[in-house]
Structure 1
Amino acid sequence: MSSYDMKPTIQWMCTPRTTSNCPPGLEHLAQINQLVVCQRFDMEELGHWEISKTYDVMNNQGHRIYFAEEKNNWFLQKICGTVRPFTMTIYDNVGQDVITIHKALRCSSCLSSCCLQKLKVEAPPGKKIGYVYQYFHPFLPKFKIKNENKEDVMKIRGPCLISSCVRSLNFNLLSLDEEMVIGNISRQSSGFVKGLLTDTGKFGIQFPYDLDVKIKALMLGASFLIDYMYYEICP
């Protein structure tokens, strides 16, 4: 894990009690209805062949819940760009990896199902809790959230027009029939969390308190996928 997470600029959220029906490390998610994901930018990493993208995952009070890190080499990032494969490791306050997100190398074209983006989420690492699959629509960015058995449980629908330089866009979390909005993933303006104006990228994730913690973790994974697909070119 990068030493960046040891910087004392952000206070960690208090560790909750463990529960028998919650995967280890996801206990924080049972207590909240909102996450804020902020990408960090370290000037010291410029010029290195090894690129490490790091994020703070916080509650709406600005307390850090998790620290996320994607390590990639410069060559793969430059050649494959936003469609590159990656593994994102998410750590708790003691440096224990609690969530792992795997994205396969996929083409950027959405005209064929074999090219659509997908990722797998594990919590704890090695134990699948679900998947996020992009699926084809001629006008809208759409995704399906699947459980560990690859059964559809919810959908995500984005806006018709997406530009990486538009700062506030919503991707709605929907019921399977797309009739009910359950939550959303949104690109946020710099004022979303007070005192964090130096972040290069910021996403807000909202969901009901009583939503399954696995679905909350899958929404976190979906936010990284959306970030890489639509916003990485113009942070």
Structure 2
Amino acid sequence: MSYPPTAPQGGYNDPKTRDSNWSNQQEPSSWGTQQGQPPYPPEPPVLYPPPPVEYRPIPGYPPTGNYPPPGAFQPPGGYPSPIANQPSSRGDGWMNRPQSSGNCPPGLEYLTMIDQLLVHQQVEILEVLTGFETENKFIVKNSLGQKIFYAAEVSDCCVRNCCGPSRPFDMRILDNFGTEVIHLHRPLACQSCCFPCCLQSMEVFSPPGNLVGTVEQDWSLWCPSYSIKNQNGDTILKIDGPCCTFGCYRDVEFKVMSADGSTEVGRISKQWSGLAREMFTDADFFGITFPMDLDVKMKAVMLGACFLIDAMFFEQRQNNNNNSY
């Protein structure tokens, strides 16, 4: 059985028509031109670079990241570039500093969007073991437990142990960068209601050297009372305390009233911190509430009122326990 000879492929000359001598063969570029056929091999059309791909974000996905502009070439994989600027966080429990406003003293931006403060006094081991009064230290937090300020008393050792809770002192309040944003000054004064001309007070400076308000004790026969005043001496708020400031298994409430005393707008609460802590230390827990829209300067003065109340009514417990031995 015989098969018919196959036809020569396009682009090639018939081997029978070629000369057996390779030196007389034509260049590849001229192959097939004798029969009017196109040269071989035919070159495919140029398709590189590929046509531009327009990026279209996924519907419902937030357009974050650095995406290529429309019409740009998308690299293989199609993943967007990572976000370069991530939210900063110290990771040590401190609150991030909010954006400052024009009428807010530097450092008080933390109080702009806050209506509650938690004041925790630190336990001094030396004071517990020896009974000698040491400089008090406090941590001020927001309602979420994030630290806002660190407060440290500045006083003389002889004054602390001789004058006790009536001692004068200064207190430096620092932010999370270690910058002093509030300075408190308590002058030497009497605590008895028999001396209405020399009552307790606390001056509040923010920034240090700039008076923003004062806390002044009002003369009263039974219940403690205070006035919160601005730098001009105008009464902004009032504080009314209970007749008995000793609280066992309960909180002691100091009501913050409006200037005319008709409306309660907040509270300063001495919180029960446990039997062992209450009996053997003077490290107290306080909670302060005030209106959200209250001036940040008055919020700083409210913080100073909390420290004054602590020094007058809750600082002498440890001293009394030591004297009973």
Q: TM-score, normalised by structure 2?
A: 0.64
Q: 3-state SS of the aligned residue for 1:31?
A: coil
Q: 3-state SS of the aligned residue for 1:156?
A: strand
Shift of 1:54: 0.7
Report the count of equivalent residues.
222
CA–CA distance in structure 2, aligned partners of residues 222 and 152 of structure 1: 14
Find the counterpart in structure 1 of residue 120 from structure 2.
38
CA–CA distance in structure 1, aligned partners of residues 303 and 178 of structure 2: 19
> Counterparts of 1:1-235 in structure 2 under 5 Å?
11-43=93-125, 51-163=134-246, 167-190=250-273, 200-234=283-317
Shift of 1:215: 1.0
Shift of 1:41: 1.6
CA–CA distance in structure 2, aligned partners of residues 170 and 230 of structure 1: 12
User: Which string of whole-angstrom CA distances, capped at 9 and with x for unpartnered residues, describes residues 82-126 of structure 1?
Assistant: 111010100000000000000000122122222210010000000
Q: Which has the higher contact order (CA 8 A, sep 6+)?
A: 1
Any conservation in 1 of the 2:124–2:134 contact (CA below 8 Å)?
Answer: no
Q: 3-state SS of the aligned residue for 2:136?
A: strand
CA–CA distance in structure 1, aligned partners of residues 131 and 273 of structure 2: 28
Cα RMSD between the aligned structures? 2.4
Q: Which runs of 5 or more structure 2 residues have no equivalent in the other structure? A: 1-89, 275-280, 319-325
More strand by proportion, 1 or 2?
Answer: 1
Return closer, same or farther for 1:188/1:49 CA change in 2, 3 Å cut-off.
closer
Q: 3-state SS of the aligned residue for 2:310?
A: helix
Q: 3-state SS of the aligned residue for 1:67?
A: strand
Shift of 1:9: 10
Divergent runs of 4+, >6 A: 45-50
CA–CA distance in structure 2, aligned partners of residues 9 and 200 of structure 1: 26
Return closer, same or farther for 1:159/1:126 CA change in 2, 3 Å cut-off.
same
Shift of 1:47: 6.3
CA–CA distance in structure 2, aligned partners of residues 164 and 77 of structure 1: 25
Q: Which runs of 5 or more structure 1 residues have no equivalent in the other structure? A: 1-7, 192-197
